[in-house]
Amino acid sequence: MRLLPPLDENFKIGVKYQRLGLFDEAILKFSETLKEIIHEPFLFYHIGECNLRKGCYTDAENFFIKVQEYFESTSFDEVEINIKRQRMHNLYPNGVNILLMAQIELSILYSSVLVKFDKKEKIIKSIQSNKENSSDNFDQGIILLLEAKIAKDDGEYVLAKDIAENCLKLLMEFPLWCAKIYKLLGEISWRIDNLELGKTYLEKSRSLFEQLEEFESIGMINLDIGLINLEQGFYLEGSKSLLASRDFANKTGNVRFQGLSLTNLGNFKYMMGEYEAAKQYYTEAEVIWKIIGDIGQLGYVTSKLTAISKALGKEEDTLSLFRNCLSYLNQSGWDFSDWANTMLTAVNSVIGIETIENIEKFIVKAKNLIDKKQISNLDPYYFMIKANVELFKANRGEAKLLLKQAEVTANEKNQIALLRKILLIHIETLLEEYLLSYDEKFLTEATDIMKISIKMSMHLPVDPEYLRLLAIEAHFAIVDGDIEKSKSLLETAEELAEEKGIFQEKKRIELIKEYASKIEKGKEKSKIESVISVISSTRYNLDIDLAEKIQGVIYLMGEKGMVPIVASEDITSEKEVYHIQNGAMLSFLTGQGHSYNEGVYGPIPAIGALFGADQFLLAITKSIKDETSPDPRFQERSYCVIAISYPKSVEKGLPHRSDLEEIFIEVLRPIETKKQLTEELLEKILTIFKSKIKQI
């Protein structure tokens, strides 16, 4: 039933306040008019809209219901009288079906925030009946808009897009509704097509809202565009949009807008590696989402807090937050795209903490949803996280295939920020391959990807990925023998990490810098495995203090028994006696002198006076020829034991002994003589060991 809104000055001022996002002020003005016109459906509707924007969902529901009750209790004659009483107003030049508009808002409320499916079904039946009995383009159009929104909430994004495009044809003469449709198309395209198309639709929407002076809607659009800019790697533009949206949100009564602004500012700080600042934003947003009761947003910010806890090395907190996130994921009221994204983010944070079986189960759920709902914009993220799981399982071949898929799809969808993360993981994987094989092809491929990553980063500001790029570039400078360039890059990275408070990366840079300082210009490439391993093991976050406690000794059987010939720490006269004891113990425990078995043994309690308290040993045995021995027996056949000492706390992060055995037997296969038992070999063994320690 069409009605015209009142011409009352308070009503007109209230509408202006509403457009500005000043909802409390708007409600006060609408209430003034309500004193004069007690039963006014337009006032009920607009007060409901204001409460909806404020996050007062129950109040909004009550006022939309009042619109319904007005039409249920008013006879046809009274409605006719009411129409004659109303005067024309430029907000609705042709009049509108205010009942239908209120029903649409109620159905959206019931399908998302309040989740009252029985009431939702009843209202939708009424709306469908209205659609069948009406030939009016406006009525038909806004009903289609409702159907598009419901399809989007149900994760049927392709269907939602088709409906919205048909809706646009019917409402083309109504700028306000065109703007709303373009906004919806932008949100959908962002998920199923690509970021650029989504941004194009949102910019069309913003242009129309600007013409209509719908300032609150403009602020919401800027928020979405800011987030897209971040994903495209345009951090400066994105941060400006987010900050402007935050400032605007704080001036309005739109609590949901405030929550979204805080959440997305948290995303920006997280991407920059400013974890404490990100945590503060997410925590403030969490308070708002709890007040509103938005389960989806609560789940999302919890997944991000889980990621921050992981980045800060707080394993127990990470697991606890992950459990909280799962609890939210198991509740209803979700946008399906957000559900899949939240699940992937949460799962990625607990690789190495949660059981691999559970992680893979959760990833399959997310992937099934992505495929079923055609949420193709999440494909690159899925491929990257699946690759991380395969890397954890040491399936590097499968991981490289997944990283390539992630790279291709992220590039197609212009997801630059994610693409750079993917390329970095790929570089680290190739460096690890080189570390294990010395095959130059891996180093060459890593170099090529490195050049692409550096070029991509020219216009992007400092974030953790940029610091890691600088560290890797410094490594390549060492490979080329340019120590001065390496030092310069590492010093720059260290200064930037300090300035930005990216402390996790600062620790890694300091460690790489320490290794680099030990390498002299002109050394062969085989001298730099320590640097490679630091980079390739960054995904495991090995604590520097623990890394420094990992030591090694190579023992060789000779005329005087098992004696140390190479060690991480100087073999002093005070420690020599302990080394002899340790060598004898290792010879006995590994069965050498009898069977000459090659393999890996451990864990073996270490001698405290030699390696420190609470240390264990891993022993690697290898048959060898001692060409320098005066005893012909040892010249033909001797054996060595490579002992790795590590803190007790590292034990739970080690792969199964059989996996280590497979790696070390392959690495030691070319070693045949005492001459090859060098400091460089020990360093390589230790760095491979460090790179295998996962999520301590």
Q: What is the pLDDT of residues 262-297, one digit of tens each?
A: 998 998 888 877 888 899 999 999 999 888 778 888
Mean pLDDT along residues 449-460: 76
Beta carbons within 8 Å of 356's beta carbon, 6+ residues apart: 389, 392, 393
Range from 158-172, 592-606, 638-652 carrying the lowest mean pLDDT: 592-606
d(CA 161, CA 174): 19
Residue type, 279: K
List Cβ neighbours of 480 (8 Å cut-off, separation of 6 or more).
none
Instruction: Give the model's confidence band at 204: pLDDT under 50 very low, under 70 low, under 90 confident, else very high.
Output: very high
Q: How many CB atoms lie within 10 A of CB 504?
A: 17
DSSP annotation of 193 reads S
Whether residue 357 is predicted with pLDDT greater than 90 in this model: the reply is no
Domain ranges in the chain?
546-691
User: What percentage of the chain carries pLDDT values higher than 70?
Assistant: 79
Q: Extract long-range pairs of 208-211: CB within 8 Å, 24+ residues apart.
A: 208/175, 208/176, 208/178, 208/179, 208/182, 209/179, 211/175
Q: What is the dihedral of CA 272, 276, 278, 284, to 10 degrees?
A: -170
Q: Is the pLDDT of residue 626 over 60?
A: yes
pLDDT at 162 over 80: yes
320 pLDDT band, cuts 50/70/90, is very high
What pLDDT does residue 536 have? 44
Predicted confidence band at 300 (pLDDT cuts at 50, 70, 90)? very high
CA nearest to 566, candidates 647, 669, 676: 676
573 in Cβ contact with 538 (< 8 Å)? no
Whether the per-residue pLDDT at 534 is higher than 60: the answer is no
What local confidence, expressed as pLDDT, does residue 117 receive?
56
Residue 255 has pLDDT above 50, yes or no: yes
Contact in structure between 575 and 646 (CB atoms under 8 Å):
no
515 or 300, which is more confident: 300
Mean pLDDT of 464-488: 76
The 3-class secondary structure across 329-353, one letter per residue, is HCCCCCCHHHHHHHHHHHHHHCECC
Q: How much is the pTM?
A: 0.67
Instruction: Taking residues 464-483, report their average pLDDT.
Output: 75
For the ranges 23-32, 234-243, 434-443, 563-572, the lowest mean pLDDT is seen at 434-443
pLDDT score at 283: 95
Res. 135: pLDDT tops 80: no
- Which pLDDT value is given to residue 386? 95
Q: Looking at the predicted structure, is the pLDDT value of residue 304 above 70?
A: yes
Angle between helices 529-536 and 679-691 (to 10 degrees): 0
Give how far Cα 509 sits from Cα of 319, 426, 453, 477, 505, Å.
27, 19, 18, 15, 6
If we measure between CA atoms, which residue out of 440, 428, 438 comes closest to residue 465? 428
The model's confidence at residue 90, banded by pLDDT at 50, 70 and 90, is very low
